[in-house]
Structure 1
Amino acid sequence: MYMDAVVIAGIVTVLLMVGFFVGVGVFVMKDQKQHGHQGKKHQGKHGGKPV
């Protein structure tokens, strides 16, 4: 495969995007564990909607 600057830049761009989304996912999971179930109200059998 011919490796020029454009191919290398494309590979670096894809790796940076993957790293960004993995980082966001890790942040969300850690934040979710840290805050737990705060703010969630226990809704009844029907999800708070009138029957």
Structure 2
Amino acid sequence: MYMDAVVIAGIATVLLVVGFFVGVGIFVMRDQKAHGHEGRKEGEHGQKPV
């Protein structure tokens, strides 16, 4: 396959987007472990917990 500048730019873009979402996922998992459910209150608005 002929590697044109557009093909290389497209592959780089896809890799950057995948890397971004992996980074966000890792951040969310670490933050969830660090904070847990400490800020969550059951029935905060007069509703029964599910």
TM (norm. structure 1) is 0.80
The equivalent residue for 2:13 is: 13
The equivalent residue for 1:3 is: 3
Distance in 2 (CA, whole Å) between partners of 1:28 and 1:6 is 33
* Paired amino acid for 1:48: Q
> Comparing both chains, which one has the higher relative contact order based on Cα–Cα distances under 8 Å and sequence gaps of 6 or more?
2
Distance in 2 (CA, whole Å) between partners of 1:38 and 1:3 is 52
Count of equivalent residues: 46
Unaligned runs of 5+ in 2: none
- Where do 4+ consecutive residues of structure 1 move more than 2 Å? none
How much has 1:41 moved relative to structure 2?
1.2
Distance in 1 (CA, whole Å) between partners of 2:47 and 2:33 is 25
Q: Percent identity?
A: 78
